[in-house]
Amino acid sequence: MSLILLFQQVNIDEKIKSAPDDGYLIGVWIGYILPFAVLAGVAYFLYHRAKKRRNDQ
């Protein structure tokens, strides 16, 4: 499993330096931030659902 993680690591600085234009730079930034935003959204949803369930009891 750790071998796969080593191959999946992405060097963001290298991508930014070799970016052909600003549109590519925005895409790299969105691709870097999006997984964290989705994870935070799922965590909030689970928290809200658990809190609602506790209040209903």
Domain ranges of the chain: 2-56
Instruction: Give the containing element (helix H, strand E) for 33.
Output: helix 22-56
At 1-57, the pLDDT tens digits run 566 655 556 677 777 777 787 788 888 888 888 889 999 999 999 999 999 888 887
pLDDT at 17: 78
0.85 exceeded by the pTM? Answer: no
For the CA atoms of 17, 20, 23, 26, the dihedral, rounded to the nearest 10 degrees, stands at -20
- The per-residue pLDDT for 43 is 96
